[in-house]
Amino acid sequence: MIKVLIVEDDPMVAKFNKQYLSQIDGFKFIAIATCFETAMDILLKNDINLILLDIFMPGINGLKLLEHLRTINKEVDVIIVSAASDMYTIKKAFQHGVVDYLIKPFEFERFNEALCSYREKQSFMNNNNSICQKELDQHILNKEKPIINQLPKGVDKNTLKKTWTRIQNMNMRSFSTEEIAKIVGISRVSMRKYLSFLLQKEVLSMNTEYGTVGRPIYKYRCVSTDSSFLDYF
């Protein structure tokens, strides 16, 4: 069980936080402290794992309490539960290692999210002696895998890179679909898909040339040497 100390000088808010806490499995309420001195006394007498800490308190405020805990190397985690919304306080809180920050007023859903996330991280760390980067990102840092852009149907990443390289080698010279298709080694029908995609990325321009007879000829030309768009696929 995760043992919790609530540091809050407002009796009504402390009562609500205690009630919220009672609805979440895995946590054990230990005490409520209304000031710095009481909080430190409880921390010295009990093995507290987590503090729900308010910032605005009489005398020494919550931020000073947090700083003091880090100065004496007290191994206890802290979630701020406060109306303090100024960036200075928020930055200071995170600099001193708070695991989450709840700005009053908040709904139970946000409180539940903070506590459940903390509980799952603690459970994972307690049950593993060492982890890999993927596990650290997923279970501790909550980093989501970036969404990779999808290429259009019929456009292959490797063929796209090959096509783009051949186009750049033309040194801004105009070319037709048939010409670049032969160079890359794919059909004209397939090449149109690649050229259409590159037009959408605005790295190609297209002009239409009309002859005396027959269909118009579409001529393309490279207008950019920036290949960074390929990094997203």
Reported CATH class of domain 2-140:
alpha beta
Q: Where in the chain is the domain with CATH 3.40.50.2300?
A: 2-140
Contact 77, 49 (CB under 8 A): yes
Task: Return the pLDDT at 216.
Answer: 76
pLDDT tens-digit readout, 80-136 = 999 999 999 999 999 999 999 999 988 899 999 999 999 999 999 989 999 888 888
Cα separation, 195 vs 76, whole angstroms: 59
Task: Return the pLDDT at 144.
Answer: 62
pLDDT tens-digit readout, 147-194 = 456 788 889 989 999 999 999 999 889 999 999 999 999 999 999 999
Cα separation, 51 vs 82, whole angstroms: 12
Task: Return the pLDDT at 151.
Answer: 83
Task: Return the pLDDT at 113.
Answer: 92
Mean pLDDT, rounded, of the chain: 90
Is 80 exceeded by the pLDDT of residue 215? no
Q: Tell me the pLDDT band of 212, cut-offs 50, 70 and 90.
A: low
pLDDT average, residue stretch 35-58: 95
Enter the tokens of residue 65: 């309490």
- The better pLDDT of the pair 45, 137 is held by 45
Enter the tokens of residue 190: 């397939």
Q: SS3 for 12?
A: helix
Before 105, cis peptide (omega within 30)?
yes
CATH of 157-232, one of 1.25.40.10, 1.20.1250.20, 3.30.390.50, 1.10.10.10: 1.10.10.10
Is 60 exceeded by the pLDDT of residue 145? no
Q: Where in the chain is the domain with CATH 1.10.10.10?
A: 157-232
Task: Return the pLDDT at 22.
Answer: 94
Contact 7, 19 (CB under 8 A): no
Single out the residue of 157, 202, 198 nearest to residue 180, CA to CA. Answer: 198
